[in-house]
Structure 1
């Protein structure tokens, strides 16, 4: 026995010696890995567990399990508990404790000098002391501390059994600024139309990043103030809040998913961990949106643990993350190191299993190149779902948060109680759509977000719940109707948090299976998690899933009858595990117009995405009718029906229309909708007691609906028949107004953007008065009026020592822009104004416009006499020295001058006559006497 052991070890020694002797031939990355993770160099003594090993080829998961995988370093390098029994490795070393640190932290350490100290974040065993470190911040809730450690004490520090994982302190960044919005792609608009009472009113959502503009009118009246909010605000945060819950008060681009949801802000700069429980419970927050990232972090870090723990404990809170905007980046570490365009989620918090991570798609539900992809570090499906986010995944996450708010609101209306986040997740993933023949993938997860299908799942109560214990099975029976093209079932559960830096995040393993009436058993779709590009691209196959806490079964053309579902507890660390199921049936033949939805208003002369859901294939023709279907006008021909969307430049009309998609043997006509131009509202005048508003006329309109801002939404104000109205300020509760045309048939067209009449640059009739000096020292005055209503005359006036003098006058007609040339302006600062006269004899003055004129001198000094401030004006920009002396020649003041206009305080001078001299480079270029008097 002893002899055989010696032979085995001798063989291993030869392999290791060969590897060591050829170390110079290894890649630099291999050398750095050995320097980083090996505790010692090779010796005749057997290395001690744990081992740093390099495999000859990428090992299978089964091999790593047999070796007791502790941590993947790259696709070839691993920290393991025991060496393989064959010669599948190139070398083995005793591993240092550095595997308990993130790659980013080790890189930071390598750049530091031995005497330097570094600040880091560490996860540790509760109730244990940390040596060799000074603690800067401590969280008993998540057993995390921010500490400072000297590099020379690093190995003693990281080797402590109390240390579980160490990482850098990271700073998040928003994924991207959003420039586009589209609520039709994910069936949000039709969901809003078909579920008009579900608006998120009973739900509060937190936006975790910088603070959004809490005064924005699209969010007015629904902000929940908090001490957790960031001190700084950002446009990115405002866009996220608007996409989640904008009320469209400002205009159609201000429309969000859940227009009555309450919104709160939490600062991500202070902590990437879940906020204090008090923050969520006191404000009733049950959804938090996270549209930010750090870098590729393929490990189960402290934040991932914290979010899994938070969701497991709270159960009813949904955390939604953007997958990231680095989809074309490559991981430099971990089991998926070096595989382009995979495993590039931006932040370890997105590696959590109980959250929802969201990828981004374009306008035809194709995943965009920059959308970060899975798998998670341990092979799990990431992102779980994809949504519209053509500019990035920030917006995709916000739309998903909004849909989650609609679902929570719908559930509370039905059941008067909170709902588990696992149920919400099951509904969202199960109702997601995929093109025919497409299965779950590491690009789009379980499919593309569909708000309507998700709400219909709850409305029709197509959800189940239960719990299992170890080795036990819970079963359900549902009936599959005849004529079903596909049945789909999704299982979700909130899994306990795994230990930080765990090899596999899943703790409680459940298995879903389905048996149809013909006694065929169907297993979930499982992706190939082997670290090679062709494996990760491979289509999903049916099998047992032992890494995800979401499982999905879909069956095409299932036999009608009983569908038997079973959920089994395979390996549980807790006594029981609760779970949730959602299911749906897709009919064999289905077509539904989703945009336009019934009575939707489409913008005239703008690009409109026509959208539908269907099981039909082939090509079809699209047309529209403005006469209730008697005649049809072409939109497009030979449109691939399966793509479900076509962009249409809507005509410039103000009419009710129908849309029709025609196939070879059938056609589908939409419900009536409307096409309407969008009017523009202006301020005519903004006088002391009255405001005049006007807008462009809409031909064939019976009148106009005027709106003003209520407590949180725009509300009807009046219905004028003309294209203008007067608003008594004493009767107006808001500065904001908008207008829509009213058709003769009674329907109301598209609403204008809401305008704050006080911010339109219009005073009491006068929009602006400009005074511009010409090259020959004349002054051109330009006047713009907001309105000429009841105006009779206009007077141009200029200031003089004796008061205002009239330069010219004219009778006002319909023109609102006027010009006047003053041929003989005075020297110095010249002031102008306009006097307006109304039909009832009132006089209205414009603001004063000022210009500086130099006639005979390049330097002006005024006023003279002066009381408190003396102005010195120079036509040239140059450095000068000013000297003021009294009549005896004594210097009383001197100053260096740099600007064209300088203001000199002289109130401290006694009354009398003084000399002012200006010098450039020691030469006097100007001299003048002035009188100081009080």
Structure 2
């Protein structure tokens, strides 16, 4: 037996595992946490330790470097300067983004009720690869910085679109905070960016939709993110939880417990960040969405949000909501930004409880509710204060009549713990709600490392683990209450904290999707959404009306507690309303449209104008044309026709969209097109030619027949182009012509269009080499000495070619394998040549060539 090696406490658990397995350190890239940066540099020099790619994160005294593993054992582990050594891991984009649903987190309602609150004036950084900065959904809002990646990925573009897309490409391209500015930074380093980066570019939210493996410990990167938040109090770091929800961790207290404690990255163990899991359109949590608890039993993820098949998009949604909250606070508080702890408190307090009642290790504190978060912030239902150890702050609270639930959430940004600490919490505060002789403590989960313990419902007790504490009280008696915050353990400076609270009213009902002017697709399943304050066992009667007609039944027994219904809309195009009847009370939705999206096409793209056209929508009263003149699509023209000629002198944009007008309301916009990229030039979409039997077949495709009075097929002759044929009737955009008498050698064709105003437009010419009765032909012949010679074959057969001069001497030998094979210019001197072509079947053809 081998002796078990001693495990140095300075190593991260990932490297510790290698020691346990009697292996050596395998990786050359490390992160090293030190007590003093200058002393560490001198230490490396003094011990002559060669390092490569040395980088330094100043805020936390962390070096990223490459070095020989033997120097770790021999020098670094022996030095008091070195506090912690971490293997440098490669981040991975947490993919599987399939669609986007703004209704799942009440963003549609937010956009409708508060159209000016769109993240304007805020700047978000997307930490991963670089998004496609030419994407029209980011028009005029992307800020380049030295920290951005050189590589562009689809994932980065999708995440940026979900956070801040402008909706210029299509309705699915509209993000949560569509007015915010955007930048990005490379995620090759798992550490935060320098404080100066956030401050110089006024970045207030950074999105992190990536992970590594399941890592259950408080490492140097987790400490660094807690420091980053302390140094930049208004900065919010939002992380995806990960897509490894069915796995079991291999290290830590929850080792081998399948389906729990599988967040992807030790940086997600930080206390002052937000970690977000996924929900699907039906508010269910996908199995692959990573779950908590954190390595020490804290509640993770804190929130969930929409992200089909993955949590990348979930983080993006919460980043977008955070930007809007910051904008709202800034507008109400003399242009100052809120603390990230306040934004976190508002988000957690306004979240919709899903899954097991109260907090849990799968959905955290619930599903993010953007609309309710804005309402909470604008009503001012929050408190900012600070205290020292042993101090208690008491606040009065008046609870009105008719409250279904009262909720309070306490959040503070905790100082960083020591790396590898068994418990991350340093400053411990206690929240309590009081009414006379009664009191209520926060909801606390059992974090004992057994699956059955982790699945237990939350209980009311003192929380000594989390820097978030939440109390709810269902159907509270109206009257005077107090809540208190006590400094249980604060060994250092006074601890600042934030508390948000709200009252949810009984027997209210609010439609969340569709809202005014939104669109439902005809004949398809569409998820409609609402929020209900009625008893969870109540049902409602769902009906719809088209164009103000009689109400038609959808379902007489709708479960209100689900907050959604999968409705197959009528296969029609119209204005529509929904209504829900509950105990005789009727709740009618805003007016919305039921319409299909139409396809915008280009008829011609000429020097002075562009023809756009689209299919007819019988129920439309007109069509709205949109143009991307500035950062966002703007309505520019209304027409009753199904085509329009755009004058380039009046509209400089290359991008256009169209929407049918139903009644007086524009319905869903088409995909936005760039008319220069649709394969249509000035009328001509394509002009093709090919040889078939002994004929040359010509094919013409036009974008439009608008204003064309004649179409002529022309062929180049020694005297110029001559008309071969004029189309007698012009009704089709796809035309064909057959030249039954092609010329041996080169044949050059074009098409001539004559417009109603006398303007003539020519296609590009097209050249076809044709070998007539002979299988092979030489062209041109005679040929100038410094011109190339073409051997034209009727078929692309394989053959060999020999060229002899007039004396019978072999001058050139070449393999023929195409319809046109070339002897380069200058290969043959002046004179007469005999070309012998021997096909694979043994057939010999002799040709004469004169070089002048």
With the shorter chain as reference, the TM-score category is: over 0.9
Q: 2:271–2:467: 8 Å Cα contact kept in structure 1?
A: yes
**Aligned partner of residue 622 in structure 1, secondary structure:** strand
1:352 is aligned, of 270, 283, 293, to 270
Q: 1:604–1:678: 8 Å Cα contact kept in structure 2?
A: no
Q: Which moved more, 1:716-725 or 1:128-137?
A: 128-137
| CA distance in structure 1 between the partners assigned to 2:798 and 2:364 by the alignment | 67
**Aligned partner of residue 398 in structure 1, secondary structure:** helix
1:524 is aligned, of 429, 438, 442, to 442
CA offset at residue 250 of structure 1? 1.3
| CA distance in structure 2 between the partners assigned to 1:858 and 1:441 by the alignment | 80
Q: Please, what is the CA RMSD of the aligned residues?
A: 2.8
1:697 matched to 2:616? yes
CA offset at residue 898 of structure 1? 6.5
CA offset at residue 914 of structure 1? 4.5
Give the aligned partner of residue 63 of structure 1.
none
1:96 matched to 2:30? no
CA offset at residue 843 of structure 1? 2.1
| CA distance in structure 1 between the partners assigned to 2:24 and 2:430 by the alignment | 51
Change (3 A) 1:396 1:900: farther
Change (3 A) 1:785 1:435: same
**Aligned partner of residue 433 in structure 1, secondary structure:** coil
What is the correspondence of 1:746-825 to structure 2 with a 5 Å cutoff? 746-774=664-692, 776-800=693-717, 803-825=720-742
1:312 is aligned, of 230, 233, 246, to 230
Change (3 A) 1:836 1:922: closer
TM-score, normalising length from structure 1? 0.84
| CA distance in structure 2 between the partners assigned to 1:264 and 1:637 by the alignment | 49
1:202 matched to 2:125? no
Give the aligned partner of residue 302 of structure 1.
220
Q: 1:518–1:559: 8 Å Cα contact kept in structure 2?
A: no
Change (3 A) 1:229 1:891: farther
> For 1:635-679, what per-residue CA distance to the aligned partner results, in whole angstroms no more than 9, with x for missing partners?
234222110101222234443322112335433222333333333
1:640 matched to 2:556? no
What is the correspondence of 1:222-241 to structure 2 with a 5 Å cutoff? 222-241=141-160
CA offset at residue 140 of structure 1? 5.0
Change (3 A) 1:382 1:924: same
> For 1:258-303, what per-residue CA distance to the aligned partner results, in whole angstroms no more than 9, with x for missing partners?
111101121113x221122332222211111111111111111222
**Aligned partner of residue 138 in structure 2, secondary structure:** coil
Give the aligned partner of residue 838 of structure 1.
755
Question: What count of residue pairs does the alignment treat as equivalent?
Answer: 838
Q: 2:10–2:85: 8 Å Cα contact kept in structure 1?
A: no
Q: 1:484–1:558: 8 Å Cα contact kept in structure 2?
A: yes
TM-score, normalising length from structure 2? 0.92
CA offset at residue 573 of structure 1? 3.5
Give the aligned partner of residue 486 of structure 2.
568
| CA distance in structure 1 between the partners assigned to 2:590 and 2:603 by the alignment | 40
| CA distance in structure 2 between the partners assigned to 1:298 and 1:658 by the alignment | 50
1:254 matched to 2:170? no
Give the aligned partner of residue 135 of structure 1.
51
2:32 is aligned, of 111, 122, 126, to 122
1:459 is aligned, of 367, 378, 399, to 378
| CA distance in structure 2 between the partners assigned to 1:133 and 1:586 by the alignment | 63
| CA distance in structure 1 between the partners assigned to 2:773 and 2:15 by the alignment | 70
2:140 is aligned, of 190, 208, 221, to 221
> For 1:467-492, what per-residue CA distance to the aligned partner results, in whole angstroms no more than 9, with x for missing partners?
11111122222211111111111111
Give the aligned partner of residue 479 of structure 1.
398
Change (3 A) 1:446 1:140: closer
| CA distance in structure 2 between the partners assigned to 1:511 and 1:593 by the alignment | 37
1:401 matched to 2:319? yes
Give the aligned partner of residue 579 of structure 1.
497
Change (3 A) 1:860 1:567: farther
Change (3 A) 1:278 1:871: farther
| CA distance in structure 2 between the partners assigned to 1:906 and 1:557 by the alignment | 94
Change (3 A) 1:923 1:822: closer
CA offset at residue 156 of structure 1? 2.8
**Aligned partner of residue 223 in structure 2, secondary structure:** helix
Give the aligned partner of residue 732 of structure 1.
651
| CA distance in structure 2 between the partners assigned to 1:394 and 1:631 by the alignment | 44
| CA distance in structure 2 between the partners assigned to 1:621 and 1:215 by the alignment | 47
| CA distance in structure 1 between the partners assigned to 2:799 and 2:295 by the alignment | 68
CA offset at residue 110 of structure 1? 6.7
| CA distance in structure 2 between the partners assigned to 1:229 and 1:339 by the alignment | 38
> For 1:91-116, what per-residue CA distance to the aligned partner results, in whole angstroms no more than 9, with x for missing partners?
xxxx43166234267549979789x8
Change (3 A) 1:277 1:437: closer
Give the aligned partner of residue 12 of structure 1.
none
**Aligned partner of residue 412 in structure 1, secondary structure:** helix
**Aligned partner of residue 136 in structure 2, secondary structure:** coil
Q: 1:917–1:924: 8 Å Cα contact kept in structure 2?
A: no
CA offset at residue 851 of structure 1? 5.0
Which consecutive unaligned segments of at least 5 residues does structure 2 have?
A: none
Which consecutive unaligned segments of at least 5 residues does structure 1 have?
A: 1-22, 24-33, 40-94
1:492 matched to 2:411? yes
> For 1:317-352, what per-residue CA distance to the aligned partner results, in whole angstroms no more than 9, with x for missing partners?
111111111111111111111011111111111111
| CA distance in structure 2 between the partners assigned to 1:113 and 1:259 by the alignment | 50
Change (3 A) 1:154 1:181: same
| CA distance in structure 1 between the partners assigned to 2:494 and 2:804 by the alignment | 95
**Aligned partner of residue 498 in structure 2, secondary structure:** strand
| CA distance in structure 1 between the partners assigned to 2:621 and 2:450 by the alignment | 66
Give the aligned partner of residue 633 of structure 2.
714
What is the correspondence of 1:406-425 to structure 2 with a 5 Å cutoff? 406-415=324-333, 416-425=335-344
Q: 1:100–1:158: 8 Å Cα contact kept in structure 2?
A: no
CA offset at residue 466 of structure 1? 0.5
1:625 matched to 2:517? no
**Aligned partner of residue 214 in structure 1, secondary structure:** coil
Change (3 A) 1:925 1:150: farther
1:545 matched to 2:460? no
Q: 1:132–1:157: 8 Å Cα contact kept in structure 2?
A: no
CA offset at residue 798 of structure 1? 3.7
Q: 1:273–1:307: 8 Å Cα contact kept in structure 2?
A: yes
